[in-house]
Structure 1
Amino acid sequence: MDKVTANNLLEDFQFELLAGEEGIYRPITTSDISRPGIEMAGYFTYYPARRLQLLGRTELGFFKQLSDQEKENRMEKLCTYDTPGIVISRDLEAPKELLQAAEEFGVPILRSSMPTTRLSSIITTYLESKLAPMTAVHGVLVDIYGIGVLITGNSGVGKSETALDLVRRGHRLVADDSVEIRQENEGTLVGRSPDLIKHLLEIRGLGIINVMTLFGAGAVRPYKRITLCIHLELWDQNKAYDRLGLEEEKMRIIDTEVTKLTVPVRPGRNLAVIIEVAAMNFRLKRLGFDAAQEFSERLTGVIEAGDHDEFK
C-alpha cells in the first residue's frame, strides 16, 4: 500500500494549512475518519488518536460553550503525537487553543471549504483507495464489453499480441506486462498500469508501441475492476481441458477470488475472438443465462425421457 500523509491531502485537495507544519509527513495508517464529538464533551477513554480527525460546525459549535480551561484541556488531549492530522470543514475559524496545541505536538491542522459530510466521504474514498492492499501481477488487463479481463500466462505465450488484436477490435487496454492490483473493498479488485509503462504495449519483433497514440484516447482507460482471469498456456496433448464449462475454477488475488478460465494456445486459434466471447459469456452468466447448465439440463431431460420409454 502507498504511504499517505497530511501533505498528500494538501497537494491533492488544495487544503489550507493553518498550523502544525512539522507533522505534515506523519503517516495516515487507516481510512477511518473520526468526528470527535464525544471527546469535545470530555470523554477520551476510547479516543481513536491514530485516525484523521474531522471538525465541523457541530463540534466547533459545542466547543465555543466550554470554559477557557476546558477548551485548553480538550485540545491538548485531542492533539497527540499519534494524531496524523485534523481537518476543519466549511472554512470555519480554528480555535486558538487548537492552533496552540497543534504547534506544540506537531499535529497538522488543515482547512477546507467543503461541507462536513461531503468532505468526510471524499477523504474516506481517497484513503481507502490509497491504503488498499496492493499486489502486482505479470499479465495484461483489458476492458472487454465492460468486463475487466486479466490475461495471464508464461512469457512469450502471446498475451500482448492478443491484447493488441483486442484493441483493434474496439476494446480498451488498461495495462500490459505488469498490472498493479488493489483490493479497494471486500471482493473488489481494481487494476491499473504503473505510470512508467502506461498506454504502452511490448510486441516482440516490433518493440514498444503507444496504444493511445496509434488508436486514440478511446483505446485506453486508466483503471478497471477485475472480474475475470483468462490464463493462456501452450497446448498440452496429455491434459484434459474443460469442454462444457460446468465447473468454475477460481484464482485468488490478495483476499478475493476471481473466476479463472484456462485457454490452450496452438497455431490457428484466434485468441482475441475466444477471449472476447469468453467475456460476453461470463457477462451472460452473471445475468442468469448459463449455456453449459442449459445444455446439461437438456441432456438430462433426454436421458430421463429415454429411460422412461424403455420401461413402457
Structure 2
Amino acid sequence: MVKVRTKEILEKFHLELMSGEEGINRPITTSDISRPGIEMAGYFEFYPAERIQLLGKTELSFFEELTPSERMSRMEQLCTDITPAIIVTRGLEVPQELFEASERESVPVLRSGMKTTRFSSRLTNFLESKLAPTTAVHGVLVDIYGVGVLITGKSGVGKSETALELVKRGHRLVADDCVEIRQEDQDTLVGTSPELIEHLLEIRGLGIINVMTLFGAGAVRSNKKISLVISLENWDSQKQYDRLGLDEEKMKIIDTDVTKLTIPVRPGRNIAVIIEVAAMNFRLKRMGVNAAQQFTERLSEVIEEGEHEDI
C-alpha cells in the first residue's frame, strides 16, 4: 500500500508546482533524498532515480557552466518514469531544460523558498515518519508518569478497566483495543490510536465511553513512545512468577526489543496500582536504581558475614 505521494509533499511544505503536474500522484517509496551533484557532471551509473531529487544553489550553479547540449542531456537523464519529484530550493529559477524534460516524462518539478539543508532535514524527518515500518497490536496504551506502557492480554482479562482506573488516577490514555505502532528509529516505537476509536474506551457492562469528554483534554494524548509492555494473564497456581524482578523478559515488536512484565490477575489485586508502580520502578532502573539488584547484593553480604562469624 502506497503511504506517501508527491501531492502530500506539495501540500505539507506549501511548495510551488512548476511543471509535470500529470505526475503529482507518483508514489514515494524511500525516505532517502538525493542531491544529484555528480549526475550533473554526467555520471549516471548509480543514479538513485526512485528518490526525491533536490537541486540547490551548488547543483544549479554547476549546471549553468555546462554547454546547451549537456544541459539538455543531464535534465533528460534526471527525469525518469520512477522519479517522484525534483525540488528546487532557495526559490531559485527553474532551468528551461528542466521544464521541458519534466513535462515530457511527467515528473513534478516543485520549488521551495527554504534553504537546501533545512528543507532536506525537514523532508527527511517527514518521510521517515510516514514510511516507517508499522504494525497493530491488540492492547491498551497509557502514558504513566512519562512512561509509555502497552498493556496486553487475552480478551476479557481487564485491560480497558485497568486503563480506566489509571486515567482516574491522573494518567493519560493513548489507545484502547487496537494500538497502531510505527518504528521511527532502530529502537523507537511510537504508538497511536486508529482515528475511528481515538479517545474511546470500551468497558464491558457499561459500553463505550469518551475519555476526553468525561475527564478532559488532559486525560488523553495522541501518541506516545512505547517503553514497557505489561502482559495481564489470569492467575495460574501451577506457574512460577518472578518475585524478585531480576530476570528481564523482552518482547519483540517489529525490530525492537521492549521490556516486558507479566502480571497475574486475580480478585483482590489492584492491577492499576501495580502497573503504576511498575512504571515508576522502570523509570528508577533507567536512572540506575535497581531495588532487586541492591537487595541481592545486601543478601550476599549478610550471607558472607554469617559465614565469617561461623569460622
Counterpart for residue 23 of structure 1: 23
Amino acid at match of 1:171: H
TM-score (norm 1): 0.97
Q: Secondary structure at the match of 1:181?
A: strand
Amino acid at match of 1:289: V
Could you list the per-position Cα deviations for residues 221-253 of structure 1 after superposition, in whole angstroms to 9, with x for gaps in the alignment? 111110100000111111111000000000000
CA distance in 1, matches of 2:175, 2:64: 53
CA distance in 2, matches of 1:42, 1:208: 62
Q: Secondary structure at the match of 1:221?
A: coil
- Indicate if the aligned counterparts of 1:2 and 1:130 stay in contact, CA closer than 8 A: no
Amino acid at match of 2:147: I
Amino acid at match of 2:75: M
Could you list the per-position Cα deviations for residues 274-307 of structure 1 after superposition, in whole angstroms to 9, with x for gaps in the alignment? 1010000001001100000000001011111111
Q: Secondary structure at the match of 1:27?
A: coil
Amino acid at match of 2:251: M
Q: Does 1:202 align with 2:202?
A: yes
CA distance in 2, matches of 1:160, 1:283: 23
Counterpart for residue 276 of structure 1: 276
Could you list the per-position Cα deviations for residues 174-203 of structure 1 after superposition, in whole angstroms to 9, with x for gaps in the alignment? 111000001111011111011111111111
TM-score (norm 2): 0.98
Taking the TM superposition and a 5 Å limit, the aligned residue runs for 1:243-254 are: 243-254=243-254
Following TM superposition, by how much is the alpha carbon of 1:11 offset from its aligned partner in structure 2, in angstroms?
2.3
Taking the TM superposition and a 5 Å limit, the aligned residue runs for 1:171-190 are: 171-190=171-190
Q: Secondary structure at the match of 1:226?
A: strand
Taking only aligned residues, the RMSD between alpha carbons, in angstroms, comes to 1.0
Amino acid at match of 2:167: V
Deviation larger for 86-95 or 178-187: 86-95
Count of residues paired in the alignment = 311
Following TM superposition, by how much is the alpha carbon of 1:112 offset from its aligned partner in structure 2, in angstroms?
1.4
Q: Does 1:309 align with 2:301?
A: no
Following TM superposition, by how much is the alpha carbon of 1:126 offset from its aligned partner in structure 2, in angstroms?
0.7
Q: Secondary structure at the match of 1:93?
A: coil
Counterpart for residue 104 of structure 1: 104
Counterpart for residue 220 of structure 2: 220
Which structure 1 segments of 5+ residues have no match? none
- Indicate if the aligned counterparts of 2:191 and 2:226 stay in contact, CA closer than 8 A: yes
Taking the TM superposition and a 5 Å limit, the aligned residue runs for 1:75-154 are: 75-154=75-154
Counterpart for residue 299 of structure 2: 299
Counterpart for residue 33 of structure 2: 33
Counterpart for residue 53 of structure 2: 53
Following TM superposition, by how much is the alpha carbon of 1:43 offset from its aligned partner in structure 2, in angstroms?
1.4
Following TM superposition, by how much is the alpha carbon of 1:2 offset from its aligned partner in structure 2, in angstroms?
5.3
Q: Secondary structure at the match of 2:181?
A: strand
- Indicate if the aligned counterparts of 2:2 and 2:27 stay in contact, CA closer than 8 A: no
- Indicate if the aligned counterparts of 1:148 and 1:225 stay in contact, CA closer than 8 A: yes
Gap change, CA 1:275 and 1:2, over 3 Å in 2: farther
CA distance in 2, matches of 1:11, 1:152: 38
CA distance in 1, matches of 2:10, 2:195: 22
Amino acid at match of 2:95: P
Q: Secondary structure at the match of 2:87?
A: strand
CA distance in 1, matches of 2:206, 2:88: 54
- Indicate if the aligned counterparts of 2:20 and 2:106 stay in contact, CA closer than 8 A: yes
Amino acid at match of 2:114: M
Percent same amino acid among aligned pairs?
A: 71
- Indicate if the aligned counterparts of 1:173 and 1:221 stay in contact, CA closer than 8 A: yes
Q: Secondary structure at the match of 1:225?
A: strand
- Indicate if the aligned counterparts of 1:232 and 1:265 stay in contact, CA closer than 8 A: yes
